[in-house]
Every structure is written in structure tokens, then in C-alpha cells.
Amino acid sequence: MKKILWALVSLLLITACNSTKKTVGTKQVLVFTKTMGWRHSSIEKGVATLKEIGAQEGWQIAQSEDSLAINTENLAKTDLVIFLSTTGDILGPDQETAFKKYIQNGGAFMGIHAATDTEFDWPWYGKLVGGYFKDHPNNPNVRKASLKKAAPHVTTSMYAKTFERTDEWYNYYNLSDAVTATLYLDETSYEGGTNGDYHPIAWYQDFDGGRMYYTGGGHTDEAYDEVAFKAHLESVMRWLME
């Protein structure tokens, strides 16, 4: 009987050790989707797509709309924070402090689409995200446009040098000189662009101890079904967590 019990204990210990090994090194991603302004109907589709990518890559993807989730304890366990079409003033002073310290401690941030339509009264965030949403074309707001790649970068390797996409194309203000653009919009290919010859639509930078990447696509549900756009999101996530 004792031999059987010891055999069971040993089996449980081995199973526990193997289970632990499977989770060691797993990347932890927080997808934050709180909105205090316009709410994109594509948010849920975007979350599902990011979770699908996470499942494929073995990353743990958690989603929250509670600003209290942005705290020191949670962020200490997080490899990447994604603001997915957040809008408006979404963080209180304590959350702003925790998020700022996370970045300063080497954290990674990814902004998708309306992440630039967020925290207009927090200058530090404006510098982190690299620019603010100004407006977009209307009637219709979703249009086909030509894009072109900047210098080769792993996050845009799935695209041709020039290509077309259909999405809602933002115009920006307070664009930072510190960012490195990876994709540009060609304003001659559609009506409603106001940034001129320099109209980045995806960019990155090292900022205040951390690293960030913003991509302006993702307004529509259909965007998250595009093979190339999904590969772009996955590549950005992987690059930020290297």
C-alpha cells in the first residue's frame, strides 16, 4: 500500500514539474480596451484576433476595460501592454503613475488605431504614443488607400514595397520627430489626408526606458481577418517582446 502511495506522490510531483516547465517563460500580454469617447465596434473582433495570435504563439492574452488593472503588481508580470482602440481619458493619476513606471522600467507598449485618440491631457502619453488623432475622412470614413513601406523592418516584411488597404485613415497632430516610421500613407491615393508628404501610419520608438509601436489600422472588423494585417500585428507583438 505504501509503495502505491509513494508511486502516486511521485507521479503528482512529476506532473507538477512538467506543468511548471510549460509555463516558464510564457509571455504575458494585457490588452486594454477602455473607452471614454467613441467606441469602435471592432474592439471585440480585435481582442479575439489578438487572443488567436496568442494561442498560436503560446502567449497569455488577458483583456480588461478596468483602469484598476493598470497597477504596479499587474504590470510587473506583464511583457506587453496593448491599447486597442482606447479613447478619451481612461486612466486616473495612480494608474498613470503605474503605467509610466512600467515603461521606465523597460516595459513595452503597442497602440492600435484609436490609441492615438487617448489621454489628450497627459503630455507624457502623447510623447510615448508619438502623435495624436486629429480627424479622418468622412462620407465614407472607410476608404481604400495606397501605403508604402519605409526602410525594411521585420514588422512590415509581410507587405510589398507599395500596397493597398481599406481602413479608416487618421490624420495626426503633434507627430514626434523621435519616432521611426515603418509605413506611410500616400495621400494622392485617397481624399481626406491632411498630413501631406509626411504621413506615417505606423511607427516605433524607444522612449523613457521602454519601447513602443503604433499602427493606425484596425478600424473595421474586416481588418482583423486580413492575413497580412494579422501577420503585421503578430510581428509587432513579437518584436516588442524580444
pLDDT at 26: 95
pLDDT at 11: 39
pLDDT at 8: 40
pLDDT at 25: 77
pLDDT at 61: 98
Q: Which residues of the chain have pLDDT under 70?
A: 1-24
HEC sequence for the chain? CHHHHHHHHHHHHHHHHHHHHHHCCCCEEEEECCECCCCCCCHHHHHHHHHHHHHHHCCEEEEECCHHHCCHHHHHCCCEEEEECCEECCCCHHHHHHHHHHHHCCCEEEEEHHHHCECCCCHHHHHHHCCEEEECCCCCCEEEEEEEECCCCHHHCCCCCEEEEEEECCEEECCCCCCEEEEEEEHHHCCCCCCCCCCEEEEEEEECCEEEEEECCCCCCHHHHCHHHHHHHHHHHHHHCC
pLDDT at 23: 42
